[in-house]
Amino acid sequence: MDWKPIKKSFQQWVVQPNLLDYDQTCATFSWEAIRQELDGLPGGRGLNIAHEAVDRHAAGPRRDQLALRWLGRDGAVRDFTYVDLQEQSNRFANVLRRFGIGQGERVFVLAGRIPELYIAALGTLKNTSVFCPLFSAFGPEPIYQRLHLGDGKLLVTTRRQYNQKVANLRSRLPQLRHVLLTDVEDDLSDNLLSLPKLLAAVSPDFTIPPTDPEDMAVLHFTSGTTGMPKGAIHVHQAILTHYMTGKYVMDFHPGDVFWCTADPGWVTGISYGMIAPLAHGVVNIIDEADFDAERWCHILQEQKVTVWYTAPTAIRRLMRLGVEPRKEYDLSHLRLIHSVGEPLNPEAVAWGLQALGLPIHDNWWQTETGGIMIANFAAMEVRPGSMGRSLPGIEAAIVHRVNGSVEVVEEPCVEGDLALKPGWPSMFRGYLHDEERYHKAFKSGWYITGDLARRDADGYFWFIGRADDIIKTSGHMVGPFEVESALLGHPAVAEAGVIGKPDPLIGELVKAFVSLKPGFEPNEDLKLDIIGFARTKLGSAVAPKEIEFNQNLPKTRSGKIMRRLLKARELGLPEGDISTLEGSE
């Protein structure tokens, strides 16, 4: 089916979009001008994300305005004004200081969407320590890997998460000095302390120390295909991208109520679930509960959400349930809907138009880019199936690899690697403790994103797929190596190869091909046992949903399992180049 572009006209806008003329904005854009719209630390002491997100509003006319509204799973509501957030984050920064956690040291949070996570994140940034979120659906193994690699000094978590996942890891994590629990009123032991008690005992005043824009601020883990997760380093300067994309993509205006459904365990939930809306001084809605169609429509209506940022899996869920929110709910406040994280199929864009009354604007970015790089802007026609055009100040291109270097493809509609010209403020500054991997991501002056795409004659980018074996399941990135390593811990498993199997709802599901050790019978019980084992170790978000026994896993002559071939065979696709396959002539 040929999907027609969705035109935009002035009449349909409630407020005039911040980006009206794309070409002109790109031509006159400068990061320096964006910097001028921010505050900077008083006295020229640098640039700190938490100052821009909280303190500068708390010092001005927005001080008593709602900054964050938290909707609890059970119906509780907690509101924080900018001045409340300032005070709470100051207290957290003072707690860190009390424990001697200093600049550049990593503070981890393992929790669902609870207010303490945001307070800890902002307090950590104020203290110039480094905030590092852990997805709450991770099992103990991914948690261990990240705390270990990130040299976590302090962890904030809940009692349940601690007991279920962290308690048994502590002997393997000698550097983890302090664990603070959000939901106990009193300390449980010398090294299991009550966060509420600590917060109450310290001063609500804190002066952010001088912060170099290049100081490390946030560490986001992402997955690779060959090895354990990589810690992408982001710096305070990233606030320029968060602010700029808040302005031009999210199109924030005073009075907006913004809801980003992404979990703060991943980059979207921090860059847009916290930083960008606060940097613009708008109201940020946080919902603790998981996806529920009725609840979500209710939130859009009751909270009078004006700008909504969600993801394709959620949109497809709503579509599948056959809900037509516009018919049953008052969505008249909703002005813009955005989506990110996986390909947004054109059907979903069309569904948005019909069921929500608005098209869904797809945009593209990744952990390493720190912020949105390509987007369908409010004022531009939406091309269903396309991720949109590159942001002002961002140079994106399709490149081909030729003899070890790369060449930009000028011709439109040609498939190639999606690449970005380095230099934007939120670009990752390294992978923690892994300089080689970082440098490998750059070629001939371009950052190679790992995605394949094409660009049409008007500069709209169209996603094709990943250039590697990384899996995207329900919008979460999963590294096959991490899953394979965990599976090898099961007593019956000799070898494992893990792929992403296309799934109409969640994008891809994690599927493992497993060969068994001698003496083990391939049967359904064993399959369930292995799945259960993987879930306990990795958590439900990462563990395979399907297992297939295969005593003859395809391998290269050097013994590496060929995931590409497993996937091609699974999908009935051509096997491609199999010259390196073990046993081939």
On whether the CB atoms of residues 350 and 358 are closer than 8 A, the answer is no
Could you write out the DSSP letters of every residue in 103-130? TT-EEEEE-SS-HHHHHHHHHHHHTT-E
User: Which x/- pattern, by CB under 6 A, does the window 106-135 give for ligand AMP?
Assistant: ------------------------------
Place of tokens 């869920």: 317
221 binds ligand AMP (CB under 6 A): no
Output the CA–CA distances (angstroms, integers) from residue 287 to 71, 296, 362, 364, 370, in the order listed: 5, 9, 22, 23, 23
Backbone angles phi, psi at 98, to 5 degrees: -60, -35
- Are β-strands 193-194 and 283-287 bridged in parallel, bridged antiparallel, or unpaired? unpaired
Place of tokens 């497809």: 316
Could you write out the DSSP letters of every residue in 329-364? S--TT--EEEE-SS---HHHHHHIIIIISS-EEEEE
Which residue lies nearer to ligand AMP by CB, 455 or 490?
455
Which residue lies nearer to ligand AMP by CB, 80 or 308?
308
Query: Residue type at 286?
Result: I
User: Which x/- pattern, by CB under 6 A, does the window 303-342 give for ligand AMP?
Assistant: -------------------------------------xxx
Q: Could you tell me the smallest distance in angstroms from the CB atom of residue 69 to ligand AMP?
A: 25
Among 88, 261, 313, 367, binds ligand AMP (CB under 6 A): 367
Which residue lies nearer to ligand AMP by CB, 192 or 420?
420
Residue 436 CB burial class (10 angstroms; 0-12, 13-18, ≥19): exposed
Please list every residue from 227 through 286 that binds ligand AMP, using CB under 6 A: 266-267
Q: Could you tell me the smallest distance in angstroms from the CB atom of residue 316 to ligand AMP?
A: 13
The most distant pair of C-alpha atoms in the chain lies apart, rounded to whole Å, by: 75
Among the listed ranges 124-132, 178-186, 362-370, 489-497, the one in contact with ligand AMP (CB under 6 A) is 362-370
Q: Could you tell me the smallest distance in angstroms from the CB atom of residue 266 to ligand AMP?
A: 6
Which residue lies nearer to ligand AMP by CB, 162 or 365?
365
477 binds ligand AMP (CB under 6 A): yes
Which residue lies nearer to ligand AMP by CB, 140 or 341?
341
Among 222, 237, 261, 310, binds ligand AMP (CB under 6 A): 222
Among the listed ranges 298-306, 347-355, 392-400, 449-457, the one in contact with ligand AMP (CB under 6 A) is 449-457
Cβ neighbours of 475 (radius 10 Å) = 21
- Rounded Cα gap, residues 130 and 107, in angstroms: 6
Helices (H) and strands (E) in the chain, counts: 20, 27
Q: Could you tell me the smallest distance in angstroms from the CB atom of residue 368 to ligand AMP?
A: 7
437 binds ligand AMP (CB under 6 A): no
Q: Could you tell me the smallest distance in angstroms from the CB atom of residue 362 to ligand AMP?
A: 5
364 binds ligand AMP (CB under 6 A): yes
Q: Could you tell me the smallest distance in angstroms from the CB atom of residue 174 to ligand AMP?
A: 30
- Rounded Cα gap, residues 431 and 435, in angstroms: 6
463 binds ligand AMP (CB under 6 A): yes
Which residue lies nearer to ligand AMP by CB, 47 or 235?
235
> CA Rg, the chain, in Å?
24
On whether the CB atoms of residues 250 and 258 are closer than 8 A, the answer is yes
User: Which residues fall within 8 angstroms of residue 136, CB to CB, at 6 or more apart?
Assistant: 110, 111, 112, 161, 263, 265
Backbone angles phi, psi at 541, to 5 degrees: -70, -20
Q: Could you tell me the smallest distance in angstroms from the CB atom of residue 267 to ligand AMP?
A: 5
User: Which x/- pattern, by CB under 6 A, does the window 385-414 give for ligand AMP?
Assistant: --x---------------------------
Which residues contact ligand AMP (rule: CB under 6 A)? 222, 266-267, 340-344, 362-364, 366-367, 387, 449-451, 463, 466, 472, 477
